[in-house]
Structure 1
Amino acid sequence: MRTPNDLELVHLTKRYGDTVAVKDINHVFANGTYVCLLGPSGCGKSTTLRMIAGHESVSDGSILLDGQDISRLPPAQRGTAMMFQSYALFPHLSVRDNVAFSLKMKGIDKTARYKAADDMLALVDMGHLAERLPAQLSGGQQQRVALARALVTKPRVLLLDEPLSALDPFLRIRVRGELKRLQRELGISFIHVTHGQDEALALADEVVVMNNAVIEQAGTARDVFGAPRTEFVARFMGGHNVIDLNGGRFALRADDVKLADSGHAATVSVVEYQGDRVAVTSKLGETEVLALVPEAEFYANPKNPGDAVGLAWDEGRLHRLLA
């Protein structure tokens, strides 16, 4: 159900000469939700984000926030704020002055802007480092400063362009938990661009999958993963097999495939140990089928490449694809 505070894209299009980067997108981002724009490189997700922010012009269509068309407004007047992948902190300014910079540009006095900056630094647990320069911070600390700087203007929508890509895997998991906590505490919309399926599934209230300049599918993380509509979504989200059966094309989750003494005759081609499970890829005719087998179950009856194996699944777990 739409509310007046939603962000809405109406027939949004971006062209670069003869190249269409974003094609006639229509979508409503519900107020106060965490949304991940997910897709491969070049699909149009970052261009969409930059048009919302005002850093790319709109070729056709409009962007509505609170019912107002903001697509021709300068970035500072849109009610949005953007956190860039590179963080783009000023190296010669302290952490506090970096966060307060946009307020200084708006003419807010030093006492008020420092108070606002300190409040935001406290929110991201960086208050104790307010006097440091960016070069004296770790990558994760710089990320939190950039986040505080984006939030200090109290935007209605925060836009994040692959904000975790520069972090190591351990820190990435910790920081994404902080992002989700902040979004819930602030109650504003976060729109987060990523090409990481795990990141989108972990963070998003809504996942919007883009491909070839259009939205391929949108829905809750569970719906998009559990019920992909197209072959592209099934393959891109991972964890699915795409199988032709009885003249139809189906998605089948890899954790629904069982190794059995009977069933569809196949030959094991790859075995990968993944800790709590083992990924077994088998050739079923010309089709590769992935089975994710619990570790204990696999080692009770281990398989090796070249072994004959039966593949079985509950027919009710087959999900018909639209295209």
Structure 2
Amino acid sequence: MRSGYDLELVHLTKRYGSTVAVRDINHVFAPGSYVCLLGPSGCGKSSTLRMIAGHEEVSEGSIVLDGQDVSSLPPAQRGTAMMFQNYALFPHLSVRDNVAFSLRMKGVDKPTRHKRADELLALVDMTHLADRLPDQLSGGQQQRVALARALVTEPKVLLLDEPLSALDPFLRVRMRTELKKLQRELGITFIHVTHGQDEALALADEIVVMNDAVIEQAGPAREVWAAPRTEFVARFIGGHNVIDLPEGKSTIRSDAIRLSDDGLAATITAVEYQGASVAISTRTDSGDDVLALLPEEDFFKSPKSPGDAVRLSWDDGRLHRLEV
């Protein structure tokens, strides 16, 4: 049994009139991987996802799934399934019938489609609520039903459009753990659109960072975090400072910066206690805003306040030179 299918975007472009939403992107998604399309609003990530799903027409280029160009196929014939941000459950149908709906539309008989729906409901731990209506469910339960409904057709690729955005913070963290577990159990490719850096880092085998209609950087989550290639990626992924040095623009992680007797001169602009750490915002004499994240016990050995003059230092081996 195959663990996944190749999905490739080839010179993919999407135009809305004179506006280019996605500009000539090329990317191969590894079979059986969890991929997050990450970027700010308007960067092109949702348009990319909707083109893969077949809910947006491709302006130029192609989408190749398992060796077949599916760009012109309707959504139901592509081998993909999409879970929408608002879940879009049918309010008058039971949980079981919501999950079985696409099989019903394909003419599958009732016993067979209900058997398959019950298998998926068991997978997402919703068997005990199979006879309820959607408005009798919590947000997290509705999400599980939407997941089961998307998976009932056995897609080669599951597409998720900001699936956690409607949930409260506690449930969001719990559900991302369940999503990752489910993806590993199924062994199919998940492509998940998000603008949350923490969400992408927690979930993704690969992060694809998009900005201004193009892919800025793609790679394993740890690589994108530790070695951003551009200033945009460094700033957007978080946890990094971009500093102008004589040798060019470089990044240094906030947790790699120390307060010391010598180093880069700066003035503290804010101090924020965060529990295990203390975030110290500073501004250098050259005007760069630099954040230092100090262990709580280190900070309180010698507390600082806004307005204090300090020196910032780091190990040169932790400095990362930006390519662009």
TM-score bracket, normalised by the shorter chain, equals over 0.9
Distance 1:4 1:240, change over 3 A: closer
CA distance in 2, matches of 1:5, 1:164: 25
TM-superposed CA distance for 1:25, in Å, is: 0.5
Equivalent-residue separation in structure 1 for 2:178 and 2:263 (angstroms): 46
Match of 1:169 in 2: 169
Secondary structure in structure 1 of the residue aligned to 2:13 = strand
| Compared CA separation, residues 4 and 190, structure 1 to 2 (3 A) | closer
Q: CA shift at 1:318, angstroms?
A: 1.0
What is the root-mean-square deviation in Å for CA atoms of aligned residues? 1.0
Write out per-residue CA displacement over residues 256-287 of structure 1, whole angstroms, 9 at most, x where no aligned residue. Answer: 10011222221110111111111101111111
How much does 1:169 deviate? 0.3
Partner of 2:290, secondary structure, is: strand
1:153 maps to: 153
**Range with greater deviation from structure 2 (261-270 or 177-186):** 261-270
**Contact 1:4–1:67 under 8 Å retained in 2:** no
Counterpart residue identity of residue 301, structure 2: A
* Separation (CA, whole Å) in 2 of partners of 1:260 and 1:36: 38
Amino acid at match of 2:316: E
Say if 1:209 and 1:217, in contact at 8 Å, map to a contact too.
Answer: yes
Q: Please give the alpha-carbon distance, in whole angstroms, between the structure 2 residues aligned to 1:170 and 1:69.
A: 40
Paired residues of 2:4 and 2:32 also in contact (CA < 8 A): no
CA distance in 1, matches of 2:244, 2:317: 15
**Which residue of 1 is the match for residue 5 of structure 2?**
5
Distance 1:274 1:144 in 2: 33
CA distances 1:174-219 after superposition (whole Å, capped 9, x unpaired): 0000000000000000000000000000000000000000000000
Distance in structure 2 (CA, Å) of the matches to 1:35 and 1:120: 22
Work out whether 1:314 is the aligned partner of 2:315: yes
Find the aligned partners of 1:266 and 1:10 in 2 and give their Cα distance: 47
Compute the displacement of 1:247 (Å): 4.2
Runs of at least 5 residues in structure 2 that lack an aligned partner in the other structure: none
**Letter paired with 1:300:** K
* 1:142 Cα offset (Å): 0.3
- The answer to whether the 8 A contact 2:5-2:189 is kept is no
Contact 2:11 2:25 in 1 (8 A): yes
- Provide the C-alpha distance between the structure 2 equivalents of 1:160 and 1:17, rounded to a whole number of angstroms: 26
Distance 1:261 1:302 in 2: 15
* Paired position in structure 2 for 1:218: 218
Corresponding residue of 1:67: 67
Structure 1 residues 1-323: aligned runs within 5 Å: 5-285=5-285, 286-323=287-324
Contact kept in structure 2, 1:22 and 1:213, CA below 8 Å: yes
- Cα distance between partner residues in 1 of 2:123 and 2:5: 24
Aligned partner of 1:267: which letter? T
Q: Measure the CA separation in 2 of the matches of 1:300 and 1:132.
A: 57
Q: Output the CA distance in 2 between the equivalents of 1:87 and 1:129.
A: 17
C-alpha separation in 2, matches of 1:244 and 1:318: 12
* CA contact 2:5–2:188 (8 Å) conserved in 1: no
Q: Verify the 8 A CA contact 2:87 2:146 in the aligned structure 1.
A: yes
SS at match of 1:104: helix
Q: Distance in 1 between matches of 2:19 and 2:283?
A: 39
Q: Is the 8 A contact 1:37 1:208 kept in 2?
A: yes
Does the Cα contact within 8 Å between 2:6 and 2:29 map onto a contact in 1?
yes
The 1-side partners of 2:116 and 2:278 are apart by 50
Question: Secondary structure at 2:289's aligned position in 1?
Answer: strand
Unaligned runs of 5+ in 1: none
Contact 1:24 1:61 in 2 (8 A): yes
Closer, same or farther: CA 96–305 of 1 in aligned 2, 3 Å: same
Task: State the alpha-carbon separation in 1 of the partners of residues 62 and 4 from structure 2.
Answer: 16
Is the 1:241–1:253 Cα contact (8 Å) retained in structure 2?
yes
